[in-house]
Amino acid sequence: MKVNVQAPNFTAKEELLLFVKKRLSKLEQFYDKIVFADVFLKVQKTSEKENKIVEVLLSVPGGDIMVKKEAKTFEAAVDEASRALERQLKKRKQKEKSYL
């Protein structure tokens, strides 16, 4: 699976990019038909501490899956997003099995 990470308005550190790619590549063990993942890392200009936003667009056959999570750090937001994607991929796999 190809993971494209985009960070508009700031430069993401290499460790963060590696963390995102490693975390999302684990999703392939739940659903092996993932084509690619587009990840957008954004910093919201607010006084709130939870101003890091991660949006993940997962391209899979039959329709894309989009998840948007906010947290204090990008790592926490990526963890939340990957857990949400994991649940959705498991549901999609169950639906496919029920059609067979």
Residues 33-77 have pLDDT tens digits of 899 999 999 998 888 888 999 999 999 988 899 999 999 999 999
Rounded distance between C-alpha atoms, residue 77 and residue 41, angstroms: 9
Q: Give the predicted TM-score (pTM) of the model.
A: 0.88
Measure the CA–CA gap between 33 and 19, rounded to whole angstroms.
Answer: 22
State residue 100's pLDDT score: 64
Q: How far apart are CA 36 and CA 57, in angstroms?
A: 8
Using one digit for the tens of pLDDT, what is the confidence trace for 69-100? Answer: 999 999 999 999 999 999 999 998 888 888 76
pLDDT at 31: 87
Q: Give the residue, 12 or 98, on which the prediction is more confident.
A: 12
Q: In CATH, what number does 2-99 get?
A: 3.30.160.100
Q: Give the number of residues written for the chain.
A: 100
| Interatomic CA distance for residues 4 and 1, integer angstroms | 10
Looking at 1-100, list the stretches that DSSP marks H as alpha helix, in order from N- to C-terminal side.
Answer: 14-25, 74-99
